[in-house]
Structure 1
Amino acid sequence: MTNFDQDAADAAQVRQDNLTKPQGSLGRLEELAIFMAGWRGTSRPVMDHAQAIVFAGNHGVVARGITPFPAAVTEAMVRNFRNDGAAINQICTVAGAELQVVALDLDRPTADFTAGPAMTEAEVRQAMAIGADAVDPAADVVMLGEMGIGNSTVAAALAASVLGGRAEDWVGPGTGAQGAMLQAKIAAVAEGLALHVPRTAVETLAAFGGREQAAICGAILKARDLRIPVMLDGFICCAAAAVLTRDDPQALDHCMIGHVSAEPGHRQLIAALGKQPILSLDMRLGEGSGAGVALLVLRAALACHNGMATFAEAGIG
């Protein structure tokens, strides 16, 4: 399955090769412009409308004592997003992205995945539909982020389920788990992996959660249908996205990874997905913040691609 327009990408490459610079001298900026050209189906892609979506959900596994913050913080942070008080608000302002916050049943956490499935398959599909509906068909790029106390534990379980390995290979401190709390987090993921052996993307999300991860998956699939490139954020966002490769190894071909997080599992997750992050800034905040900063780089790539003169236009050579 592909919607990539190779002719548009080839035409963008020709333009890059004729701009007033040594060929290849803008490095990844050239690659990003060509990537955008192929997915948008034009040799001169623009980013007139950048949409940022932050999905929020709560998780029953928090009851296992795997995070230093209570689940109530999720709702408090959603209010902060809506009041323009978070990092992602400031980053979206400077990156020229329209922020949308989608909270999914915060008063109804998913079940504890160490005791049974986190969600029913019907709940997964409902959350995926909410994610799909959030995507604006007029967007030129969609940036995805998340918020949910406990969701780095869910992310570790998702990554281990899809890509293999032990719980301790994927579990990191998240919002600050250390010592006994970090060991409880590892134990919870190990118990979940022993209990659940899902085979499909929906089964995986049902087993471990959460609603925001399912919504991210729904948004990614909808963006693919619309040929809208997606900018993924950190470990939690990428672990959710990785679930889709269980059904289709090419499911994330239209996705970019904004940055490599300081969360330990993110680097190996990116390597497993065969992608290269745009930035490495030791960020680990989530909420789409690293992806938002990467949008600035993408804007620079398209500005150079569309605005620079060719050698012929500049009368050089």
Structure 2
Amino acid sequence: MSDLIPITPTYGLLLGRGVLERVPEVVPHSATRVLLVHAPVMLDAASRLAEALRAGGREVFVEELPDAEAAKTADVLVRLWSVLGQAGFTRTDVVVALGGGATTDLGGFVAASWLRGVPVVQVPTSLLGMVDAAVGGKTGINTPEGKNLVGAFHEPTAVVCDLDLLRTLPRRDLVAGTAEVIKCGFIADPRILELLDADPDAALNVDGEVLPELVRRAIRVKADVVSVDLKESSLREILNYGHTFAHAIEQVEHYSWRHGDAVAVGMVYVAELSRRAGLIDQQLVDEHRRLLRLVGLPTSYTGGRWADLLTAMSRDKKTRGATLRFVALTGIAQPTRLESPDPQWLEEAFAAVSTER
């Protein structure tokens, strides 16, 4: 398909309005069976997609998942393995994941783990899913000890992003998704920040032209990174800007926080930490807060529990032994790594995000 945006040499992404109907085009021709997993709110879209896939002569098994992070559990994974086993899925059959980031994370891991890897087509329906979760081949589930600690790298056959599906999102979820877009602006593409600063309302208008441009730019940032570092051996770590503290919040709050909200606070936290390490000045810290607030994202965490948060951060995937590592900045679009920061800086940064400024 000539209009696929290349992500890596092995797969591409279809982005546009009304492209859900084109999912059967990217399902491998060899697939005779399809497991279609979907978020609860995607029931109608899943029914339409299932009929389109059946029209091509495929046998389609439709499974509704629990909502959001509740889908990313071992119990749900085992249930889906049972469906695949009873249906006789082979290595040429395919999983299609229709939903937000939690759905695509789980769907990808189901595909990665069945028969040591079957094809998966990702169909993200949230802003977060389109710019982050569904792109790049990361898959996984959560455990009581942390987020995404069990998973695999498994590239999809294709990613299909239908911008019309963003209309199904509650505004609060759309706002939360912009955190990952803003992250891409801070680590790689300052134009993202300029567009958002110029017209925050347009950045949240699903029917306008600014939001699609922001989506394209954020996807391009991630594609440029994963095309050279699929398995997070070096460069790909920059995509985790703000995520170390964010994942700690999510775990401590038992995944009741939206991922994007946690990432927004996580970016402010690491900015405060970076200032104390002498990497950036106070002006850039303030710019984090200002831009995040423009779209209605939180910039503080008032839940306390510093000891629990520190323990959670010590289990982060970027940690090596006893060494805490953070993606940091030395300036906009100038990411770096901050290792073993002074414990006093860690606690001072936490104090700084514990009160609204």
**Pair in the same fold by TM > 0.5:** no
The alignment's TM-score, normalised by the length of structure 2, stands at: 0.23
The alignment's TM-score, normalised by the length of structure 1, stands at: 0.25
Whose strand fraction is larger, Structure 1's or Structure 2's? 2
Query: Which structure's relative contact order is higher, taking Cα pairs within 8 Å and 6+ residues apart?
Result: 1
